[in-house]
Amino acid sequence: QVQLVESGGGLVQAGDSLRLSCLVSGRTRSIQLYTVGWFRQAPGKEREFVAIITLGDDSTYYTDSVKGRFTVSRDNAKNTVYLQMNSLKPEDTAVYYCAADQRYRPLGEDYTYWGQGTQVTVSS
């Protein structure tokens, strides 16, 4: 079994930055074998895709609303994937989840492993 634990959420003001971490542990030889996605769910809304870093070539993709502000990266030695969030806006307020899968580009939310989420609140 593989476990994902998110951390780094909190309450910040608009324009501030946060870095979320997703620690991957358990029966995994290396985080490099996994594509990791970040998703978020705002109150009263459906969960949505935010960013992804793919296994092998570390290609990254972002939803349009965060392009230029968010950056996803991984530290293989620490088995951790990061989501650096800059210039935060109130509309970024949500619970943020990381998810992992051994396929290159899982469709939608079809990931095998999910974390419990971390709250990000951005005040105006």
pLDDT tens-place string over residues 78-122 = 999 999 999 999 999 999 999 999 999 998 999 999 999 999 999
Predicted confidence at residue 91, as pLDDT, reads 97
5-14, 18-27, 35-44: which range is least confident on average? 18-27
Predicted confidence at residue 31, as pLDDT, reads 84
| CB distance 2 to 100 below 8 Å | yes
* Chain center to CA of 105: 15
Mean pLDDT over residues 7-13, rounded?
A: 98
pLDDT tens-place string over residues 65-79 = 999 999 999 999 999
